[in-house]
Structure 1
Amino acid sequence: MTSFEPTPDFAAHLDATDPLRDFRPRFHIPPASDGQPSVYLCGNSLGLLPKAARAAVEQEFESWEKLGVEGHFHGTSPWMHYHETLTDSTARLVGAKPIEVVVMNNLTTNLHLLLISFYQPTASRYKVLMEGGAFPSDQYALESQVKLHGLAPDEAIVELVPRPGEHTLRTEDIEAKIRELGDSLAVVLLGGVNYYTGQAFDMEAITRAGHAAGATVGFDLAHAAGNLELHLHDWDVDFACWCTYKYLNSGPGGTSGIYVHERFAHRPDLLRLAGWWGHDPADRFQMKKGFRPMPGAAGWQLSNAQIFPMAIHRAALAIVDEAGGMAALRRKSEKLTAYLEFLIRRLELPPQVLEIITPHQPEARGCQLSMLVHKNGRALFDYLAGAGIIADWREPNVIRLAPVPLYNSFSDVQRAGEVLAEWAGKAK
């Protein structure tokens, strides 16, 4: 961080030499109150609109308009096989084989579908390990899944909490808890990145520890997909799911994705909630009784494709591929986030006023920095908003800032640092 400078000229130089600089104009940047583009640092909550999305959806409107039901079989991208057009890009995105991924439904729906299959408690092996303070949907999903099996959440769900005085979890503590639970542990379910602190977990190490204990290991990648380089197959992860409206810029309430390791690809005996689109396509339209799942993750599908959300997602995934995939995005992301951290730390505010609770190490975080503001946090959030900095507020006193490599610039980050410095000067 010592090589950084806080000046607009320095940020402009970084932008001029940024190999991804041409991707920012391909997104709509919301205007600030003065009509100028805002500094949008909220992609960890909702990504921005790709300009290509309108044309992608319009193409499907045209097919619907001109072909009606025949759009399932004719047109530029027949709807019957539309989800398959997303498979290769999705596999690259999360480090999987094509048979291991499918795009379908919404995130928590998919989490429930996967837990039905992969949380099958017995009298002795029934516990689930998750991070304390996980996103509420994950907490609610696990509570209800545990109750479906007649178990009490307080007994079956074990929550990981940081050591006293710390804000994030240590990998060795996660591994130790897995060993401690041992034969009682059925499933490990963590977020790939914790939504509140921005901590990225060592998914490979956690998976290894979970498997050593005889447990199944899955991840909610809502804050990891499109943010981190993922290698789900090589890490031997059993299952995962993610949304597409954050770092994948696929629209509010957009479609979701799942991953199921290929070792389960030909397991028709594996319990699941079935739907006709997951049935073997060879006789799907014969409308017979008796569910026979497609091989791989596609066998967890319920209904036919959500064409319009998938059209947006397809356009967004194409941008990721064109940018060079997650390796290229991460290179810029690490530098953007380090620059933001440099600008915050140079304020030299005491920790009893403001502290960064996201890990300092690049491998332990994505592009989000979470600032714990001990005094007048909401006032700082409002001050940022008044200056055209769009951030995210999380109760009781955390401001999340996420410079996204596809559309955020170093000048965005420099401007945010400038506004924080103005506030710090007034607060002292």
Structure 2
Amino acid sequence: MRISVVGCGYLGAVHAASMAELGHEVVGIDVDGPKTAALNEARAPFYEPGFEELLARTLATGRLRFSTDVTEAAGAQVHFVCVGTPQKRGEYAADLRYVQEAVESLLGVLAPGDLVVGKSTVPVGTAARLAELVGEKVPGALLAWNPEFLREGFAVHDTLEPDRLVYGLPAGDDGATAERLLDAVYAPIVARGTPKVTTDFATAEMVKTAANSFLATKISFINAMAELCEATGADVKQLADAIGYDDRIGRKFLNAGLGFGGGCLPKDIRAFMARAGELGADQALTFLREVDNINMRRRIRMVELAREVLDGSLLGKHVAVLGAAFKPDSDDIRDSPALNVAAQLQLQGAVVRVTDPAAVDNARRLWPQLDYAPTPEEAAAGADAVLVLTEWRQYRELDPAAFGTVVRQKRVLDGRNALDREAWTAAGWTYRALGRRTD
């Protein structure tokens, strides 16, 4: 099939290359000229394991190209909309300008029988409004909503081997036509027996925000337990292990620590609350406000813990921060808890040096006032304390004995409960973590 992908950021670029991998002829459209040029040269504009290899492989087949000219999407049967929906400045609601502009840009190239497929995370009601616009301007063209469920660090796998497909479809024969087209797009995935949910627009729009809200709630729940553990002397890691054996609960997303960040969970739960308020159902999601509050409190608590470990004062103390990305295997620093903590430490008088395997360049652009180092050893040279704030494998696998030779004081704060406490304490380190006993 001929496919276009409008918006070639993180979601769109991965989706375009993945669709070419499935055998389709794909053109990716983006307004950013340098970005499309880089993609055409198989240079990924972001860090994502496995993506650059996929990009090079699919470009070499001749089935994939990128352009700034939307007219090159003409002739495609299916047009995916993969643009961002950031939080509006000064409010919780999602900014839908880019989705609106993307759909409007396609109106000039759509033909009857074409299918526009939204993948962006949008508030309930967006798809119905855009479907009406498409149908009015190009009679016979259809719209469906097919939310994405990508995990940064696993985006290629999650696109090519998803755990489910969700189709938000129009009613009647139009819905059947849209479903057939989507099944053709995802033919190898459908053939594997991947679970598929076909539903209406509103349900499909809610799936992604509901899923993210549930995950955010689970993370904030265990972090609330960490607060209680600190007050009672209990150990949150052992607590999480114990309740995680219950298959109704599960162990995933029960790692207490700095909490969540990134470009999805924070803004999605806030947009969900905003839309519920617009619909007069705000009381249904009031619990998400506390989920958000708990999450933000973890950052404050980490700064407090650092001050406590550093003998009650941050002033003039040298602090190494291991991690800038909001999660490992990513260079995404949007709403990064690690960088937020690093900046707060510096504002309160600490001398902070940050390192990250992938996100230093992005961090330097956004937080130029911080100092950066290329390796953990250089970041920690002469440090009075080391904070592990992103759980990269490289940090989990550090040799605490060797690492201890570069610091001034062997004090480590494990902001993700990711280190082997026994190994670090055996090497002479003072180990502290959120929600963990000090013994």
TM-score > 0.5 by shorter chain: no
Q: Please give the TM-score of this superposition, normalised by the length of structure 2.
A: 0.29
Structure of larger gyration radius: 2
Greater relative CO (CA pairs within 8 A, separation 6+): 1
